[in-house]
Chains A and B, each alone.
Chain A
Amino acid sequence: MNWQAVRSIYVSEMARFFRTLMQSFISPVISTSLYFVVFGAAIGSRIDQVDGVSYGAFIVPGLIMLSVMTQAISNASFGIYFPKFIGAIYELLSAPVNFLEIVIGYVGAAATKALFIGVVILATSALFVDLQIQHPFAMIAFMLLTCVSFALFGFIIGIWAQNFEQLQLIPLLIVTPLVFLGGSFYSISMLPPIWQTITLFNPVVYLISGFRWAFFGMTDVPIGLSLLAIASFTALCLIVVWWIFKTGWRIRK
């Protein structure tokens, strides 16, 4: 393994993050606060409690997941798309590195950024509501796995995208709706039965449910299933990335 290369990619990607630290920090704080005002205060005053948890606290895991997923995707996709766009990718292709090293560097940095945002949102939430975390290790593990798997997914999007529109397309058209419909702001049991069944085809449901279990000990779907879902998603992304580098799809002429 060329760990120097992994380190270089990671450091250079993190430098981009630190250049815009204030933006990276302030925007999630503001958006989280807004969600609390809109969902927590306005809607929450009518919903009161979900399975014994105050509505304000109930939406915290979903809020964190929403940001972590979108941040992991956008950071990772941009990280690899940008050198491709300006042509700096020649250096990666001519360097003594293999696909694993490139992926660890880029995906690791994107996952770190997403994790940072997740922690910021968790801290901001603690200012608004009383939070209890029943399974702290499981919470951290879920958050980490989500960061990594969605950063991998973002990496694939970044390689697939041939222009800036495509770069935005999947996060905007697929990921955001899936997260909103994935039980971020409600429990699946609140839906009519037919929608409950349809929702089970949404992979994000399993992530949010598992993550919420780590906080409050309650689930929409069994926790084992949640773990299986995120593990399969990670594995699938890894296979796709491996294939991309093996064939040179969209990176090597």
Chain B
Amino acid sequence: MAAILSVRDLVKRYDGGFEALSGVTLDIEKGEILALLGPNGAGKTTLISTICGITEGTSGSVTVGGHDIVNGYRDARRMIGLVPQEINLEPFERVINTVRFSRGLFGKPKNEAYLEKVLRELSLWDKKDSRIMELSGGMKRRVLIAKALSHEPEVLFLDEPTAGVDVELRKDMWKIVAGLKASGTTIILTTHYIEEAEAIADRIGVIAKGKLLLVEEKQALLTRMGQKQLQIDLTTAIETVPDALAVYNLELVDAGRALLYSYDRRGERTGITSLLADLASAGLTMRDLQTKQSSLEDIFVGLVAEDAA
């Protein structure tokens, strides 16, 4: 698949010398959902703002659908929809008017049928004549999405779409994103919720201190970095791990009532079978077994810490 968005060595340095982006290179394929994951101040919003034209990059280049964002800004920007992090709406404006305004601003002729479809999909149709200030926070966020979709963009940026919203609304937002993906829209979203990236992204990019630490398929990332743990609950507590089991590097937890075994599930041999056999010969009896895969959170924390070191 061809890249719809291509970022090359993008640097953004502010007048004070602070470097918000230090040479980001990234390709995004048509139709995928990429989650940019990073702590606050990592440069996620700066990256999006620079691609969308809100801030100017210091050096490097960005193309959208082959159009350079500086020399071909009109063609590039027509393809992009942006849902900002903050709710920046005129309070006195009516929903339908603000959506019409956005469509026109992006140079698209009137198409009330399309706007109705967008508003219906976002459950905003019955609010179309309400003023923005009469809407709840969640509804306002939907209006921002409707505005971004009003001109039928091919690439949609969602800057922290679920920051500060409740769990239910977050799930709603994920459904909306899944629906957009199904309709062929390429989506780039930033988040600092790992579960969000884990739940909806195809690929995950980890960004910290203006650098893109890695971009990988979500599953590959989980597998590659994925340490698994096997927890063995014992019927009776023990004080030390028997010498016969020393090779497994077991950890005694839960006041001696459980053993923890770490292994790499990509490995040819996980060592589980022999461990269980040796466990029996050491005279220990199992009450229960469970395995745990490290979450993105663990991976992420590991990566950021590694970079800081």
Contact = CB atoms under 8 A, between A and B. Distances in A.
Interface of A: 2, 4-5, 7-9, 11-12, 15-16, 19, 82-83, 86-97, 248, 252-253
B142 interface: no
B104 A90 contact: no
B89 A86 contact: yes
Contact of A91 (B14, B75, B102): B102
17 contacts: A4-B109, A5-B104, A8-B104, A9-B101, A19-B92, A83-B90, A86-B89, A86-B91, A90-B54, A91-B88, A93-B54, A94-B77, A94-B82, A95-B105, A252-B54, A252-B56, A253-B14
A64 B56 CA distance: 43
Nearest to B76: A96
Nearest to B89: A88
A86 B104 contact: no
A212 B156 CA distance: 55
Interface of B: 14, 49, 52-56, 73-78, 80, 82, 84, 86, 88-93, 97, 100-109, 147
Contacts of B97: 12, 15
Contacts of B92: 16, 19
Contacts of B89: 86, 88
Given A12-B93, A95-B77, A95-B105, 10 more contacts: A2-B74, A7-B104, A89-B88, A91-B88, A92-B105, A94-B53, A94-B54, A94-B80, A96-B106, A96-B107
Contacts of B14: 253
Judged by DSSP, the binding face of A is helix
A81 to B, nearest CB: 12
A88 B90 contact: yes
A44 B49 CA distance: 60
Given A83-B90, A86-B90, A90-B82, A5 B54 contact: no
Which 7 residue pairs spanning A and B have beta carbons closest together?
A: A8-B104, A87-B88, A96-B74, A96-B77, A94-B52, A2-B107, A95-B105
Contact of B104 (A4, A88, A89, A252): A4
A96 B90 CA distance: 21
B20 to A, nearest CB: 10
Nearest to B159: A90
Contacts of A93: 52-54
Contacts of B82: 90-91, 94
A155 B92 CA distance: 21
